[in-house]
């Protein structure tokens, strides 16, 4: 029952949206900045950051959340990335007709340097952060940029949520307490040895105590608990859990190990990328993740059903924001908005009582 405009966002009439929007959230297409793309940035017709900034300028939401690939922060894009952030900070300072973006950037820099009253122009307090989804309990090493902004007159105080999971804690659970293997009923003879590269990385306090304030990274084995091998008959009871043949390993595309978070799932323009969407099984052989397994690696609840072909479903999943990470970010933004609103209500009462 949600209203859906299934078309080019640049053709949408933002005036149809009610005023006083709390949150605008979106992910402009990543292809202009992706490591696997043509790296055209502002020269790519798929660059939708201008459309995103237009929407913020017209709607003036109390807050916004934008997600994109790590490539956005590459040194070759640094000037354009700064341009994006400054436009988000000062959306009312729009680009003039026929004005080159570098000239617009100079005007924005001048505005930033002058430190004018930003609340009068509906400016935004903007924070950009590079995060690894595995640090927030997602069973996948997925680095993404989040850009979060609050309208200056809202008075919200916000910082990106602290990581809740860690590699050191996973190492401790696997090779110090061995709780990990016991929980998964892995016989001692079948347990791998601690990789040499991990031996010097575990802090001594974890070795001594085996406990920290964080939880262990969630692994592929953790994520797939309860799902049968897709080649078995009982796999038919699980939607989107169908075996796909043809997986092959080759240099640089060797699949994801069972006992670490998965590699970053990719969307791919021409079918499904092999190495990023394969599992290395206990016997060392590889097979493709099913759609259901991939959905779990993106922390989708099992109630999500994906329609369409295998490649189309995998493209949707590969382009998605991990659900649990999105929830963490959105909840923190909502909390800051609520706190700011309560503060605005209470301050007049305090002044009246004085």
Say how many C-beta atoms besides its own lie within 10 A of residue 54's C-beta. Answer: 19
Pairwise CA distance, residues 141 & 262, whole Å: 6
Say how many C-beta atoms besides its own lie within 10 A of residue 164's C-beta. Answer: 13
Helical spans, DSSP H, in 18-133: 49-59, 78-89, 101-114
Per-residue b/e over 218-229, b at no fewer than 16 CB within 10 Å?
bbbbbbbeebee
Residue 37: which residues within 8 A CB-CB, separation 6 or more? 30, 31, 44, 71
* Nearest residue to 294 via CA among 258, 240, 340: 240
Residue 96 appears among annotated catalytic residues: no
Pairwise CA distance, residues 53 & 59, whole Å: 10
Check 21, 27, 28, 30 and give the catalytic one: 30
Residue 22: which residues within 8 A CB-CB, separation 6 or more? 61, 62, 63, 334, 337
Helical spans, DSSP H, in 72-191: 78-89, 101-114, 167-175, 179-183
Q: What is the CA 39 to chain-centroid distance, rounded?
A: 20
The edge-to-edge listing of strands for the beta sheet with 23-26 is 23-26, 63-69, 143-151, 124-132
Pairwise CA distance, residues 348 & 354, whole Å: 10
Pairwise CA distance, residues 254 & 94, whole Å: 47
Catalytic residues: 30
């Amino acid at each position: 029952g949600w209203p859906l405009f299934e078309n080019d966002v640049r053709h949408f009439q933002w005036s149809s949206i009610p005023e006083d929007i709390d949150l605008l959230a979106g992910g402009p297409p990543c292809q202009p900045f992706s490591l696997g793309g043509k790296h055209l940035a502002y020269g790519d017709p798929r660059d939708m950051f201008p459309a995103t900034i237009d929407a913020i300028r017209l709607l003036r939401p109390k807050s916004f959340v934008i997600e994109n690939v790590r490539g956005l922060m590459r040194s070759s894009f640094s000037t354009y990335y700064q341009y994006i952030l400054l436009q988000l900070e000062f959306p009312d300072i729009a680009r003039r007709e026929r004005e080159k973006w570098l000239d617009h950037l100079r005007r924005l820099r001048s505005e930033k340097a002058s430190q004018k009253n930003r609340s009068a122009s509906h400016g935004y307090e903007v924070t950009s952060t590079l995060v690894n989804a595995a640090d927030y309990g997602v069973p996948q090493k997925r680095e993404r940029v989040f850009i979060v902004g609050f309208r200056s007159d809202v008075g919200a105080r916000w910082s990106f949520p602290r990581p809740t999971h860690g590699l050191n804690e996973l190492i401790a659970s696997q090779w110090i307490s061995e709780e990990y293997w016991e929980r998964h009923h892995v016989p001692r003879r079948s347990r791998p040895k601690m990789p040499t590269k991990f031996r010097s990385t575990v802090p001594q306090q974890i070795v001594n105590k085996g406990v920290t304030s964080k939880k262990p990274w969630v692994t592929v084995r953790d994520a797939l608990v309860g799902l049968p091998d897709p080649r078995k008959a009982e796999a038919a009871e699980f939607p989107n859990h169908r075996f796909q043949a043809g997986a092959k390993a080759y240099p640089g595309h060797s699949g994801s190990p069972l006992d670490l978070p998965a590699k970053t799932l990719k969307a791919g323009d021409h079918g499904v990328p092999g190495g990023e969407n394969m599992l290395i099984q206990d016997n060392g052989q590889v097979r493709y993740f099913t759609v259901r397994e991939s959905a779990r690696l993106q922390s989708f609840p099992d109630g999500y059903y994906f329609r369409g072909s295998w490649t189309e479903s995998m493209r949707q999943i590969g382009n998605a924001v991990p659900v649990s990470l999105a929830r963490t970010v959105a909840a923190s933004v909502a909390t800051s908005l609520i706190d700011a609103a309560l503060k605005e209500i209470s301050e007049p009462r305090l002044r009246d009582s004085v």
